[in-house]
Amino acid sequence: MKKANLFFSFLILVAIVGCSKDDLNLQEEATEDIIVKKTVDLNGFRSAGSGVMMQAFYWDVPAGGVWWDTLSTKIASWSSAGIDAIWLPPASKAQNGPFSMGYDPFDYYDFGSYDQMGSIETRFGSLTELQNLISTAHSADMSVIADIVINHNSGGNYEFNPFVSDSTWTDFQPASGNFLRSYYDFHPNDYHSYDSGSFGGYPDMCHHKTYVQDWLWNNSNSVAKYYMNTMGFDGWRFDYVKGFEPWVVHDWVNEVGGFAVGEYWDSNVSTLDWWTGEANASAFDFACYYAMRDALSNNDLTYLNGDMLWKTNASRAVTFVANHDTDEIYNNKILAYAYILTHEGYPTVFYQDYEEWLDKDALNNLIWIHNNLASGSTEILHVDNDEYIAKRNGYNANGLIVYINNSDSWLERWVPTNWSSTVIKDYTGNSSWEPTTQSGTWVKIQAPPHGYTVWSTK
């Protein structure tokens, strides 16, 4: 969740839409939908988690309704590079209409079809353009991950709220006609006073209300089932999951299936691991992110010896180097990608790093290495301020050895391998050596200054 600008946008809305609602009694009961449980069917293309995910946006991507079409032109090359999933920004209509990045949600069913909040299209484009993007991704063997913002809402009308004896911006009458909300559906209410966190002064949704649960994931026309069955999304990135209990994500995923990852912004590995178990979902590995940041900013690779979610629970760890909220790794950022793309966990590549800032060929090479060589358990072979060497042991494959060098000079080191009397090579092209393992399985490898090499059998 982007911390800047959203609260100020809320204040602007207060000035613009300060009209009262005549009928303050919104129906609390959900519409008479048949409850249908559906598990996502990913047959026909790679499911998220089997390769590398692309975060297909950054904060303040170009406005004007062009982003979905821009992404559609990238799909073929991303798929060829080995990207198995794209994570899209929140796609439905938000309070700031054509200017919103989507984290101030208003109408979960308006993807650019209704004239509300100052526009028909969203910042990113029209419903048709989004559908074309999703179809294009599926045709290219890629999953599409929806960014789900259900902690809070924004853009409601002013209504008297008896639970606070004052008026609140909690009267939601979206043009889609789906998931109408009133003060009953936000904290505090007649059933529940608060949950684990609010955000920026926005109305804080109460997930304990049956009406809210039905509209978010239980009903046949719930947000979750509409996104999956009608729109074609395949999985979920849950925003600001510190703001509500993990059972919310658990129940959502249990109802509809699909890959799921939560933004639990915390570097405590025990806390991250606890959340993944309670939510039955993956989590972004903030512990890994901060260790890489500290290692590269302090020129001390021993930070990489620290605890990380991928070391504790690799199958639930989504690793990343940057995202739309935080981009603090400036020094030798490619070394951080060399780290996450050779280690356990499900790595994410940030759009601007791939398309604008870093060497795309180098990233494509690392993505290939991840998808073809990086398998099996991990052993750290050597680490000091300047050097980090680790071995992936492989699953019925040869695995790899990654050598990261953060010094100003070429470095060499003898290391143990899993290969006896075998010629190996560097798959990055940064070294021309092709040594043969000796003395059983030992071999000398090298890495360039402020660079890396990745070794495996020739």
* Model confidence pLDDT, tens digit, residues 411-428: 999 999 999 999 999 999
pLDDT at 199: 56
Dihedral of CA atoms 86, 1, 226, 83 in degrees, nearest 10, equals 10
Q: Are residues 276 and 402 in the same domain?
A: no
Same domain, 281 and 398: no
Does this model's pTM top 0.95? My answer is no
pLDDT surpassing 80 at residue 66: yes
Which of the two residues, 200 and 172, has the higher pLDDT score?
A: 172
Would residue 420 count as lying in a domain?
yes
151 is in an annotated binding site: yes
| Residue 2 resides in a domain | no
What integer pLDDT is reported at residue 397 of this predicted model? 72
| Mean pLDDT within 221-239 | 99
Q: Is 344 a catalytic residue?
A: no
In our burial notation (b when 16+ CB lie closer than 10 A, e otherwise), range 290-324 reads bbbbbbbeeeebbbbebebbbbbbbebbbbbbbbb
Q: Which two tokens stand for residue 87?
A: 């994570």
Q: Is residue 22 part of a domain?
A: no
Same domain, 411 and 300: no
Are residue 243 and residue 309 in the same domain, yes or no?
Answer: yes
Q: How confident is the model at residue 49 (pLDDT cuts 50, 70, 90)?
A: confident
Structure tokens at 123: 């910042």
Residue 347: domain span: 39-375
Please give the pLDDT value at position 395.
87
Domain boundary among 319, 346, 375: 375
Q: Is 351 exposed, middle or buried (0-12, 13-18, 19+ CB in 10 A)?
A: buried
Q: Please determine, for residue 401, whether its predicted confidence score (pLDDT) is greater than 70.
A: yes
Closest CA to 10 of 89, 104, 75, 97: 104
Is there a single domain that holds both residue 221 and residue 333? yes
Closest to 58 (Cα-Cα) out of 13, 101, 9, 115? 101
Q: Is the pLDDT of residue 194 over 80?
A: no
**What are the pLDDT digits (tens) for 251-274?**
999 999 999 999 999 999 999 999
Instruction: Note the pLDDT of residue 192.
Output: 86
145-183 pLDDT per residue, tens: 999 999 999 999 999 999 999 999 999 999 999 999 999
Position 320 confidence tier, pLDDT thresholds 50, 70, 90: very high
* Residue 23: inside a domain: no
pLDDT number for residue 4: 43
Domain assignment present for residue 280? The answer is yes
Does residue 16 fall inside a structural domain? no
Helix or strand holding residue 246 (H, E) = helix 246-256
Q: How many residues in total does the chain contain?
A: 458
Which tens digits make up the pLDDT trace of 123-151? 999 999 999 999 999 999 999 999 999 99
Q: Which helix (H) or strand (E) holds 186?
A: none
**pLDDT tens digit string along 69-128?**
999 999 999 999 999 999 999 999 999 999 999 999 999 999 999 999 999 999 999 999
Domain CATH number, residue 431: 2.60.40.1180
Q: Give per-residue burial for 5-22: e unless 16+ CB within 10 Å, then b.
A: bbeebbeebeeeeeeebe
Q: Are residues 367 and 386 in the same domain?
A: no
Res 25 pLDDT > 80:
no
Residue 403 pLDDT > 60: yes
Active-site option among 147, 263, 387, 426: 263
In terms of domains, do 363 and 386 share one? Answer: no
Catalytic residue among 104, 239, 344, 387: 239
CA distance 249 to 236: 10
Q: 430 and 368 in one domain?
A: no
Band of pLDDT at residue 38, cut at 50, 70 and 90: very low
Domain count, the chain: 2
Distance CA 377, CA 391 (A): 8
Tell me, yes or no, whether 450 and 343 share the same domain.
Answer: no
- Whether 304 and 395 share a structural domain: no
**Burial class for 220, CB neighbours closer than 10 Å (0-12, 13-18, 19+):** middle
**Do 404 and 362 lie in a common domain?**
no
Domain boundary residue, one of 356, 375, 394: 375
- Are 269 and 349 found together in one domain? yes
> Active-site residue 29, yes or no?
no
Q: In the structure, how many helices (H) and strands (E) does the chain have?
A: 13, 19
Give a yes or no: residue 24 inside a domain.
Answer: no
Q: Which residue, 375, 406, 435, sits at the end of a domain?
A: 375
Burial label for 360, CB within 10 Å (0-12, 13-18, 19+), is: middle
162: domain CATH number? 3.20.20.80
- What proportion of the chain, given as a percentage, has pLDDT over 70? 88
**CA torsion, ordered 333, 350, 77, 346, to nearest 10 deg:** 90
Q: How confident is the model at residue 196 (pLDDT cuts 50, 70, 90)?
A: low
